[in-house]
Amino acid sequence: MLTEKTILLADMNSFFASCHQSQDPSLRNKPIIVGGSPTDKRKGMVIAASYEARNKGVFTTMSVFEALKKCPEAIVVKRDHPLYSAYSQKIMDFLRLIGDTEVASVDEAYVDITPHVKEGKNPISIAKYIQKTLWDKIQIPCSIGIGENRIIAKMGADVRKPFGVTALGRIQFCSYFHPQPLHVLHGCGKKTEEKLNKQGIKTIGELAMADPLHLKMLLGLRGQFLQQAALGASSDRVDADRRKGDKTIGKEKTFSQPTFDQDMILSIGKNMVEHLIDRLTKKELRAKTISIVYKLERTGGSHTKNKTLPEATRDADTIYNTVSTLFEDHLVETPLWLFGVRLSNFENVTYEQLKLF
């Protein structure tokens, strides 16, 4: 790839189920469903499924009861978020040895391999080395996309699963993705797809060639962003500080269906604030910027609204009142698929004491 940057996106395959299969070898090569309720495994939702279960028609957000109808031989295991976090930490620490790494989620990360490529190393060989090492060491499979920027790497990782490696240039990206429907485009949710379909825009290629002014009138700035993505254009920056150290801390909850319930959401928000206050206290930090995070579409991107306070704080009432105000100003009677709270713009407690005196 003779480009300025070479970015890869490593996406762990069926991560939650793979963690259980890695921890318990007796579960390998068997259909695994992660989910169910604490009292009755046949109730609740599927939050993850191994490829052996997916091949029988099981998918996330399906009820466990329905999933077991499609795959009666499936083994239902209880979700274990500390287990997933521990595996994620191992994976991210390994990827940081390869190059600057930006954690995108618990099971995927962008890695800037430009220095290795400039030294003459083949990017596909680097990707296969990552795959082999993760499998040999912790038995976690992953797919990897390689490109000159984030959107090409991200969408390339979805081309071959599991265990795929896909390297695409800009022309190859357009050739492969332009005939495909809009929901394949990263960041284009179901509602956006429906809105564009009504305007006669049904494929990624048609979106790429659409009138930019028409898209702006239809979708605002989001239209410009999606059109650039459809053209295979996006940032090539990998932020190695993201989710590393104390840049930001947060907590999020995804709902099984969109909810309008203001009391429930604010109650969840209050619990999140209490959890984050504990983390601030342990780290001896105060936060100046409070953000709410939300999703309007299940498969769409996250949005944020934030407020920066005059003084950094770790007072629970102050932070919760800010969260509540942000919610009431922006999200009342809005159906949400996800809600979360993030704190950032930190000051050390010792620094604040010096400033006061």
DSSP assigned state of 26: G
List, for residues 230-288, the tens digit of each pLDDT value: 999 998 988 776 544 456 889 999 988 888 888 889 989 999 999 999 888 877 788 98
**Do residues 213 and 297 both lie within one domain?**
no
**Residue 70 · residue 56 · CB < 8 Å:** yes
**Residue 12 · residue 48 · CB < 8 Å:** no
The identity of residue 85, as a single letter, is S
Share of the chain above pLDDT 70, in %: 92
Residue 1, pLDDT > 60, answer no
**Do residues 198 and 299 both lie within one domain?**
no
Tokens representing 174 are 């357009």
Residue 108 lies in a domain: yes
Run of H or E residues at 234: none
Domain end marker among 170, 197, 221: 170
Q: Give the number of domains in the chain.
A: 3
User: What's residue 76's pLDDT?
Assistant: 93
Tokens representing 23 are 């921890």
**Catalytic-role residue among 52, 108, 148, 193:** 108
Whole-model pTM? 0.69
Report the mean per-residue pLDDT for the chain: 88
Range of the domain at 193: 178-230
CATH of the domain at 257: 3.30.1490.100
- Measured CA to CA, the distance from residue 165 to residue 144 in angstroms comes to 5
Residue 241 lies in a domain: no
Active site residue 108: yes
